[in-house]
Amino acid sequence: MPDITYRLPQERNLVTSLPGPRSSELATRRKRAVAAGVGSSAPVYAVDADGGVIVDVDGNSLIDLGSGIAVTSVGASNPQVAAAVAEQAAHLTHTCFMVTPYEGYIEVAERLNRLTPGDHEKRTVLFNSGAEAVENAVKIARLATGRQAVVAFDHAYHGRTNLTMALTAKSMPYKSNFGPFAPEIYRMPASYPYRDGLDGKVAAAEAIDRIEKQIGAGSLAAVIIEPIQGEGGFIVPARGFLPALADWCQANGVVFIADEIQTGFARTGSWFASNDEGIVPDLVTMAKGIAGGMPLAAVTGRADLLDAVHPGGLGGTYGGNPVACAAAIAALDYLESADLASRARHIEEIAKPMLRSLADETGVIGDIRGRGAMLAIEIVKPGTNEPDAVLTKEVATAVNAAGVVMLTCGTYGNIIRLLPPLVISDELLIEGLDVIGSVLKAKAGK
Ligand code: PLZ
């Protein structure tokens, strides 16, 4: 693995208690200006970031174990990405691909066609956000199949727009009181080995049986699934679950959509999480890690599906913005040249044993799971598998206050998740994990 050079000192360094005075001032201003519905996990306001650190307005340097929710895999100020953005912005920031197209869009499409699983003929269309990509994947699947029903799973997260809220499983905070939701969405049981104890094939057979009885393959346009469920709890399905679903879809003319928005771009140790079990989705939705922090999203998949849509049927003012495309090309180059997929696997090798000893020491970790740099621990009441959301929240608050940006998730709010930038140094990663460890031990009374 090549050495990574950093612009900022890679250290946790607190010069005030958190939040510091400038962050507190901004929190007051924010309260009067920003909608209360937007939350933030850390109480500090950022001014700079590089590698594994985020620097706040008070000069505190924090360890980043969140990557802005799995986005800044190449770092939040990757020099190649920054240079590509500046260069592109100096020429043109926007013309609209639907008005005066440009090469960057085509280049990104070519690369995604190459990088996504399968060597069949593919096409790509670009958007701004993950939710928009998911919406469009469903539009494409419906038009191409002439069918309407869509299957999503328990614990799924696919976005916050109307259709994607309907696909998302969890009511609070994502859906509660925001309905009515889009019709023709059916929810099926997912594979959650820690909680259902089912073998992947058995779990898939159960879901498929329900699909056949409740919907019927002839009415079903698409099955959409995250290969590792993200917001729902970093749930890795039992082996065999995903291939069985994908095979059933193929046999029944149902479009299999892999939502790789959180799992994509080397996060799990390969380009896409689908690669792990050799799944070849019909459509892949991507965003987050694709463009080093610039907003860009994509749907890539079978040429016959994407080309089934009439000219003008897909688009949007900003989709595939030239600056975002330039950033994506630089980020994809960097992911490859710095072999960040290996680094993701290396992060797992460092973190998993530390989490295992923490489980032994505290007795409150029911499950350790995930792949590459998408790792999680499930916090439970000792001796049971009962979720402990209260302890999870207390730990997260204390870890953040100690200068480590760390996120939680999960249907039951009891998952501590790790999504470090893939460029984090070993030392900083270990220090971040040590902070989590000592906080967890103290809170669990150990
Ligand atoms: N699909 C698998 O993980 C975004 C959402 C955070 P957007 N996940 C983070 C929040 O609380 O809003 C996500 C995802 C998967 C779709 C999306 C949606 O992507 O870019 O946030 O629209």
Reduced to 3 states (helix: H, G, I; strand: E, B; else coil), residue 368 is strand
Residue ranges of domains in the chain, CATH in brackets: 21-64+339-443 (3.90.1150.10), 82-337 (3.40.640.10)
Q: How far apart are CA 263 and CA 328, in angstroms?
A: 16
Nearest CA to ligand 1 atom 7: 130
Give the strands of the sheet with 374-379, arranged side by side.
365-371, 374-379, 415-418, 407-409
The pLDDT value recorded for residue 2 is: 67
Amino acid in the structure at residue 268:
T
User: Ligand 1 centre and the CA of 130: distance in Å?
Assistant: 6
Residues 253 and 233 sit within 8 Å (Cβ to Cβ): no
The pLDDT value recorded for residue 109 is: 99
Atom of ligand 1 nearest to the CA of 260: 2
Atom of ligand 1 nearest to the CA of 174: 11
H or E segment at 417? Answer: strand 415-418
Cβ-based neighbours of 376, under 8 Å, separated by 6 or more: 233, 234, 368, 369, 370, 409, 415, 416, 417, 418
Nearest CA to ligand 1 atom 3: 262
Residue 172 CA, chain-centre distance (Å), reads: 19
Structure token digits, residue 358: 């923490």
Q: Across-strand partners of 122?
A: 302
Owner of token pair 């505290």 = 362
User: Ligand 1 centre and the CA of 171: distance in Å?
Assistant: 15
**Which residue among 262, 284, 409 has the greatest number of ligand 1 atoms within 8 angstroms of its CB, and so is best to mutate?**
262
User: Ligand 1 centre and the CA of 287: distance in Å?
Assistant: 9
Residues 272 and 263 sit within 8 Å (Cβ to Cβ): yes
Q: Across-strand partners of 188?
A: 153
CA distances from 42 to 56, 236, 331, 400 (A): 11, 27, 26, 6
Structure token digits, residue 387: 């979720």
Other Cβ atoms closer than 10 A to 316: 16
Q: How far apart are CA 317 and CA 83, in angstroms?
A: 24
Q: How far apart are CA 387 and CA 330, in angstroms?
A: 41
Has this prediction a pTM greater than 0.85? yes
**Nearest-5° angle of CA 380, CA 199, CA 215?**
100
Residues 108 and 97 sit within 8 Å (Cβ to Cβ): no
H or E segment at 291? Answer: none
Structure token digits, residue 351: 């973190």
Lining ligand 1 with CB less than 6 A are 69, 129-131, 134, 157-160, 226, 230-231, 259, 261-262, 287
Residues 257 and 282 sit within 8 Å (Cβ to Cβ): yes
Residue in 38, 224, 43 with CA at minimum distance from that of residue 136: 224
The one-digit pLDDT tens for each residue of the chain (446 residues) are: 668 999 999 999 999 999 999 999 999 999 999 999 999 999 999 999 999 999 999 999 999 999 999 999 999 999 999 999 999 999 999 999 999 999 999 999 999 999 999 999 999 999 999 999 999 999 999 999 999 999 999 999 999 999 999 999 999 999 999 999 999 999 999 999 999 999 999 999 999 999 999 999 999 999 999 999 999 999 999 999 999 999 999 999 999 999 999 999 999 999 999 999 999 999 999 999 999 999 999 999 999 999 999 999 999 999 999 999 999 999 999 999 999 999 999 999 999 999 999 999 999 999 999 999 999 999 999 999 999 999 999 999 999 999 999 999 999 999 999 999 999 999 999 999 999 999 999 999 88
CA distances from 313 to 31, 128, 135, 222, 310 (A): 40, 17, 13, 19, 5
Helix and strand numbers (H, E) in the chain are 14, 15
> Cis bond leading into 180, ω under 30°?
yes
Q: How far apart are CA 298 and CA 245, in angstroms?
A: 23
H or E segment at 259? Answer: strand 255-259
CA distances from 308 to 48, 292, 371 (A): 45, 31, 35
